[in-house]
Amino acid sequence: MMFRLKPMYEVRGNGRYLFKSLRGTFKQQQDIQLIEKTRTLLTIFTTWVSDKKKYVCRNNTVKNWNLLQENVERILFTNETDLTLRVKSMGWKVLPVTKVASSTKVPVLKDMFYSAFEAEDSIFYAYANGDNIFTSDLTETVKAILKSKLSDADDLLLIGRRTDVRNVSTKEAINHDVLRNTAYSRGSIHSPYGIDYFIIKKSYPFLEFPDLVIGRPYVDSFLVSEAVNRKPGHVIDITLTSLAVHQVTLPGKQGVNEGSTYQDKDFNFNLLKSRNPNYSRGNTNCAQYFTLFDTNMTIAIKKRQRTIDKRCI
């Protein structure tokens, strides 16, 4: 289900961006000093296979993620030689895909996280689908959370809804202000189940997490439902302060829900049958916390004081 709405992060857009420019470099330097010098703030990773139809989209992703260069490492998981060379030449690190589901040959999410943990010493680690691009709001939000008491929680999980945008050009992908305007003018924010990225720390309790594969239904709703069921739980919905653009490349509903078009679309569902999970709670509205811009146009973290979605009960 998809709602045709204007992305909510634009409500205070102009004022906020002006405020950011007035803060100047001194504030940025202060933020950087808060991050341990021996560790990067964030390692963000993804995976894909070569596809001529996705060429512009994938190049947009590489170039866009490169703009997140402040204390951010980028990793592509692939076993393709040509793809490895191309992405490395554009400044990314490449790691091999070490574990796939035997019946689908699609990478296992948990093992990608473990490989990223081993490859980079970061405070936070993020998996995002390869069609997703971001703005500097992502790192600003992560830094705000790092300063909060919630950053001490071992099971901290940051999630957010994606905004579906068709035919994203390279010009739009490589300019954060242009991308924000594009998302606002012709984007559709997905339902609360449209979660295409997960941000955690090394301490996240992944030990008993099943071998779910990326890019297929239920990997997101299961991860989130398990996290919100954990007591006290430390899931933060960062939708209001961090734009995540899903580059839609296929026509119609297929493009918006691409994971459901694959022959192995039921892999995760079948793997989880015996657990009988409550998928209805696997949405952003069930997160115990959320971020927003306060009256000073700074990022604040609030605890949900009431249930905004009956499915979360």
Query: Please, where are the H alpha helices in the chain?
Result: 13-33, 55-66, 81-89, 109-119, 137-146, 170-173, 176-186, 219-229, 252-256, 267-272
Using CA atoms, how far residue 297 sits from 23, 52, 176, in Å, is 11, 42, 18
What residues contact residue 225 under an 8 Å CB cut-off, 6+ apart? 277, 278, 279, 280, 281, 282, 286
What residues contact residue 92 under an 8 Å CB cut-off, 6+ apart? 62, 65, 66, 74, 75, 76
Answer yes or no: is 311 within a domain.
no
Pairing of strands 235-237, 122-128: unpaired
132: enclosing H helix or E strand: strand 132-134
Q: Kindly give the confidence (pLDDT) of every residue in the chain, 313 residues in length, as a single tens digit, with 9 standing for 90 and above.
A: 343 444 554 444 443 433 333 344 445 555 545 555 678 999 999 999 999 999 999 999 999 999 997 799 999 999 999 999 999 999 999 999 999 998 889 999 999 999 999 999 999 999 999 999 999 999 999 999 999 999 999 999 999 999 999 999 999 999 999 999 999 999 999 999 989 999 999 999 998 899 999 999 999 999 999 999 998 899 999 999 999 999 998 776 655 566 667 778 899 999 999 999 999 999 999 999 999 999 888 999 999 987 778 888 7
Please name which of 165, 272, 180, 162 lies closest in space to residue 217, comparing C-alpha atoms.
272
In terms of C-beta density within 10 A (0-12 exposed, 13-18 middle, 19 or more buried), how is residue 207 classed? exposed
Other Cβ atoms closer than 10 A to 204: 21
Q: What range does the domain containing 74 cover?
A: 8-306
CATH number of the domain bearing residue 174: 3.90.550
pLDDT at 313: 77
pLDDT at 10: 44
pLDDT at 255: 56
pLDDT at 15: 38
If DSSP codes are grouped into helix, strand and coil, which group holds residue 123? Answer: strand
Answer yes or no: is 221 within a domain.
yes
pLDDT at 257: 65
Answer yes or no: is 312 within a domain.
no
Answer yes or no: is 1 within a domain.
no
Answer yes or no: is 159 within a domain.
yes
Answer yes or no: is 2 within a domain.
no
What's the number of domains the chain is made of?
Answer: 1
Distance separating alpha carbons of residues 61 and 64, to the nearest angstrom: 5
pLDDT at 7: 53
Pairing of strands 40-47, 122-128: parallel
User: Which residues are paired to 95 by β-bridges?
Assistant: 77
Answer yes or no: is 158 within a domain.
yes
Answer yes or no: is 3 within a domain.
no
In three state form, how does the secondary structure of 14-83 look?
A: HHHHHHHHHHHHHHHHHHHHCCCCCCEEEEEEEECCCCHHHHHHHHHHHHHHHCCCCCEEEEEECCCHHH
pLDDT at 18: 33
